[in-house]
Amino acid sequence: MPGPATKTTLADSVQKSILRQTACKVLNLIFFAKSQYVVFSLDLYRNKLYSAPIMKGTYQEEKNQGCHRRFFLVKGLTYLAGTLFGLNLFSIAEANERHIWPMTKPRRQGMSFSAPVSRIALIIDDIGYSISRARAFLSLNMPMTFSILPQLRHSNRLADEITGKSHEVMLHQPMEPYCNEIHPGPGAVYISYGNRKIEETIEENLSQIPQATGVNNHMGSRFTSCSSKVVHALKIIKKKDLFFIDSLTSRHSQAYKMARRLNMRTAPRNVFLDHTPDIQAVRRQLIHLKQHALKHGAAIGIGHPHLSTLTALRNFKQELDQKEPWLELVSISNLL
């Protein structure tokens, strides 16, 4: 059982060592006195020392508390050893917080060091049908990635123009959907294709958009659900040193899981912005995207070149610039 709580003064050298550990707010300390120990909490922000309350109860409760205290004793001694010998144990503890992608982007100017920046990557799919629509999204002057469909009239021209504006482009690879009545477009791959046919099709599509830094699937609910076929497609993409984004057009998609197994740079889509192409619906989806980014540190949203999406994104950018500096728009490769 612990003895009565008493005030204890830390030596200057120990105190300075502890105060250098800025990764945590409260440090638990344990001091021995005559074969007994007293637990303290040190608030590093206020530089105050507090003693822990002594717990009393039945024999079984005291036995359980003794087990907890022994565990707490070992943990506290480990932390104290880290402060005395310069081990960065607090940074390791902080690193255990769950993030999907590493947060390496510099903070915006004027923000405090303690304010984390959550990042959002926007992908605009189905580029290649209309030059005017693509240019309208370029006029937003906001970081985003354009995913270009292959073998369309304007595909190569728009790839040149978009990269000339310092935006990232991807190959929007058509893949077989579940519904046979929907055609995914030219350059599509099907589960009936042999491996050689899949390789030739994807390589031809990439040759038309050599500026592509990555690939995501267009449709593909059936194809991405077939592990053997999607793995072969991913191996071709990996051989080109490109990343892959799973658009998650089906909850049965195996693409992201298989890409992880191949040690590729990869991530899943988090939010579809304009499944319902209405301005208010897109705005609601953008709110969901922000919430995901704030919770996990990063988020990926996929939209399409609709006028409703264009209008909602213009307002979204203004809101981030004026009211939410802790959210930052980046290209997709900045998250991988």
Judge whether 100 lies within some domain.
no
3-state secondary structure 186-231: CCCECCCCCHHHHHHHHHHHHHHCCCCCEEEEEECCCHHHCHHHHH
Residue whose token pair is 């050298």: 13
Q: Are residues 195 and 86 in the same domain?
A: no
- Between the CA atoms of 58, 62, 65 and 67, what dihedral angle is there, to the nearest 10 degrees? -130
Sign of dihedral through CA atoms 262, 264, 270, 272?
negative
Q: Where are the beta strands (DSSP E) in the chain?
A: 26-33, 36-43, 48-51, 118-127, 145-148, 168-175, 214-219, 243-246, 266-268, 271-272, 298-303, 327-330
Q: How confident is the model at residue 23 (pLDDT cuts 50, 70, 90)?
A: very low
How far apart CA 314 and CA 316 sit, in angstroms, is 5
Q: Are residues 122 and 16 in the same domain?
A: no
Is the overall model pTM greater than 0.75, yes or no?
A: no
Q: Are residues 206 and 305 in the same domain?
A: yes
Average pLDDT over residues 66-92: 53
Judge whether 324 lies within some domain.
yes
| 172: helix, strand or coil | strand
Give 245's strand partners.
216, 267
Residue 65 has pLDDT above 60, yes or no: no
| 301: helix, strand or coil | strand
Q: Are residues 91 and 183 in the same domain?
A: no
Q: Are residues 64 and 123 in the same domain?
A: no
Residues written for the chain: 336
pLDDT of residue 110: 42
pLDDT of residue 80: 57
Judge whether 236 lies within some domain.
yes
The contacts of residue 17 (CB under 8 Å, 6+ apart) are 83, 84, 86
Average pLDDT over residues 107-133: 78
Residue 251 has pLDDT above 60, yes or no: yes
How far apart CA 37 and CA 84 sit, in angstroms, is 19
How far apart CA 20 and CA 32 sit, in angstroms, is 24
Range of the domain at 17: 12-95
**Of the candidates 229, 211, 208, which has an alpha carbon nearest to the alpha carbon of residue 220?**
229
The contacts of residue 87 (CB under 8 Å, 6+ apart) are 81
Residue 125 has pLDDT above 60, yes or no: yes
| 14: helix, strand or coil | helix
Q: Are residues 213 and 331 in the same domain?
A: yes
Judge whether 91 lies within some domain.
yes
pLDDT of residue 332: 97
Estimate the crossing angle of helix 12-19 against helix 59-85, to 10 degrees. Answer: 90
Q: Are residues 320 and 201 in the same domain?
A: yes
Q: How confident is the model at residue 325 (pLDDT cuts 50, 70, 90)?
A: confident
Average pLDDT over residues 55-82: 53
**Domains contained in the chain, number:** 2
How far apart CA 299 and CA 289 sit, in angstroms, is 6
Q: Are residues 264 and 175 in the same domain?
A: yes
Residue whose token pair is 């300390």: 29
How far apart CA 116 and CA 104 sit, in angstroms, is 11
Judge whether 113 lies within some domain.
no
How far apart CA 30 and CA 11 sit, in angstroms, is 14
Average pLDDT over residues 307-316: 97
Q: Are residues 172 and 78 in the same domain?
A: no
pLDDT tens string 227-244: 999 999 999 999 999 999
The contacts of residue 64 (CB under 8 Å, 6+ apart) are none
Q: Are residues 79 and 144 in the same domain?
A: no
Q: Are residues 293 and 180 in the same domain?
A: yes
Which CATH number is 130's domain given? Answer: 3.20.20.370
Judge whether 277 lies within some domain.
yes
Judge whether 7 lies within some domain.
no
Which pair of structure tokens corresponds to residue 139? 């006029």
Judge whether 2 lies within some domain.
no
How far apart CA 1 and CA 37 sit, in angstroms, is 8
Q: Are residues 80 and 136 in the same domain?
A: no
